[in-house]
């Protein structure tokens, strides 16, 4: 069900500005990979290239190839809409659709993509996705209420439910806990460990303890200076990166000497 991601010599641009240079990496299926690094080093940018969200920004483009298993998602004739259905995304700030109820939010991906489904199928998707996001017990009695009435942590889990309702194979998370309190963060982290059985997960985080807690593999990004492109400095198993990093920059960063 879930698939691997391979990036081959990817350069990422915002107009004339090269934001990220020469990223090559491999993310195994059914694993959690964390991207860490100082602000502005391009880790979120790299994440957004993996489901072709980067090009939504005017003037932004990508050079290189990103393989989903063996298929290049930047190949000619690939429809970004289909890529995004296969590779879902959860954002930094919870962003449920304000005009929709909880149930409608979960179904948004399915319904807005134009699929018709029967009432009972829809109910199954809502329950299954909310259970998958560990939110079902908390909201099952108020599915018709607006999603914006939930707490921040619940809203973020609603967004995760919305993302997994379209049955993606890869789930990208862009600092999903940075707007949440420690208890909600713990709930999301537990959820990530559950979800990895079905999905390949890539998470961007500023919190190194979080990277240590949830991820199997960690990639460290850094940039040489302001206005310079970001690079992937090193990538390896999380325990190795945190105990014996090969690069001096990685060691400096994780031991808190800069960044």
Partner 1 sequence: MTTTVDTSTRTPSSLTGGTLPRWAPALVGTVAVVSAVALNRVTGLAGGFATTIVAALIFVVLQSVWSFAVEGKRHAVDRLATTVVYSTFFIAVVPLISVLFTVLAKGLKVMSWGFLVNSMRNVSPRSPGGGAGHAIVGTLEQVALAAAFAIPVGILAAIFLVEYGRGRLARAISFFVDVMTGVPSIVAGLFIFTAFVLGLGMERSGFAAALALAILMLPVIIRTTEEMLRIVPNELREASYALGVPKWRTVLKVVLPTSLAGIVTGAMLAVARVAGETAPLLLTTFLTQSYNNNPFAGPQAALPTFIWDQITSGTSASVDRAWAGALVLITLIMIFYIVAKLLANRFAPKG
Chain residues in the site for partner 1 (CB under 8 A)? 51, 53, 56, 58, 81-86, 88-89, 91, 93, 95, 97-99, 108-109, 111-114, 145-149, 159, 162-163, 166
Beta strands (DSSP E) in 111-161 are: none
Count of beta carbons in the 10 Å neighbourhood of residue 256: 8
Token pair recorded at residue 36: 């860490």
**Min separation Cβ 108 and partner 1, Å:** 6
Which residue lies nearer to partner 1 by CB, 144 or 226?
144
54 neighbors 62 (Cβ within 8 angstroms)? yes
- Distance between CA atoms of residues 158 and 61, nearest Å: 30
Q: How far is the CB of 95 from partner 1 (least distance, A)?
A: 4
Q: Quote the least distance from Cβ 258 to partner 1, whole Å.
A: 30
For the bound state, the minimum distance from the C-beta of residue 82 to partner 1, rounded and expressed in Å, comes to 7
Which CB atom, from 52 or from 213, has the smaller least distance to partner 1? 52
Minimum distance, C-beta of residue 168 to partner 1, in the bound complex (Å): 8
77/182 with CB nearer partner 1: 77
- The count of other CB atoms within 10 Å of the CB of residue 134 is 18
Structure token digits, residue 24: 């090559």
Nearer to partner 1, 31 or 86 (CB): 86
Which residue's CB is nearer to partner 1, number 1 or number 113? Answer: 113
Residues in the chain: 259
Q: How far is the CB of 151 from partner 1 (least distance, A)?
A: 12
CA-based diameter of the chain, in Å? 57
- In degrees and rounded to multiples of 5, residue 141 shows phi and psi of -90, -5
The DSSP call for residue 77 is T
**Closer by beta carbon to partner 1, 146 or else 236:** 146
**If DSSP codes are grouped into helix, strand and coil, which group holds residue 84?**
helix
Q: 154 exposed, middle or buried (CB, 10 Å; 0-12, 13-18, 19+)?
A: buried
């Amino acid at each position: 069900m879930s698939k691997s991601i391979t990036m081959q010599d990817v350069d990422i641009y915002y107009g004339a500005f090269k934001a990220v240079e020469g990223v090559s990496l491999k993310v195994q299926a059914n694993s959690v990979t964390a991207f860490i690094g100082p602000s502005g080093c391009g880790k979120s940018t790299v994440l957004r290239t993996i489901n072709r969200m980067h090009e939504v920004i005017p003037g932004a483009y990508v050079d290189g190839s990103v393989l989903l298993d063996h298929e290049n998602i930047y190949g000619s004739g690939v429809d970004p809409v289909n890529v995004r259905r296969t590779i879902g995304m959860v954002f930094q700030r919870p962003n449920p659709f304000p005009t929709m109820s909880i149930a409608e939010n979960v179904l948004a991906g399915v319904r807005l993509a134009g699929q018709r489904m029967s009432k009972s199928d829809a109910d199954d998707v809502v329950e299954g996705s909310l259970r998958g996001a560990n939110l079902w017990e908390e909201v099952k009695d108020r599915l018709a209420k607006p999603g914006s009435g939930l707490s921040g942590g619940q809203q973020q889990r609603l967004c995760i439910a919305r993302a997994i309702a379209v049955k993606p194979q890869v789930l990208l998370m862009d600092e999903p806990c940075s707007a949440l309190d420690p208890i909600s963060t713990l709930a999301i982290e537990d959820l990530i460990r559950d979800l990895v059985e079905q999905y390949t997960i890539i998470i961007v985080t500023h919190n190194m303890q979080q990277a240590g807690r949830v991820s199997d593999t960690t990639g460290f990004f850094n940039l040489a200076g302001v206005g310079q492109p970001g690079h992937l400095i090193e990538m390896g198993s999380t325990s190795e990166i945190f105990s014996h990093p090969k690069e001096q920059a990685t060691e400096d960063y994780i031991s808190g000497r800069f960044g």
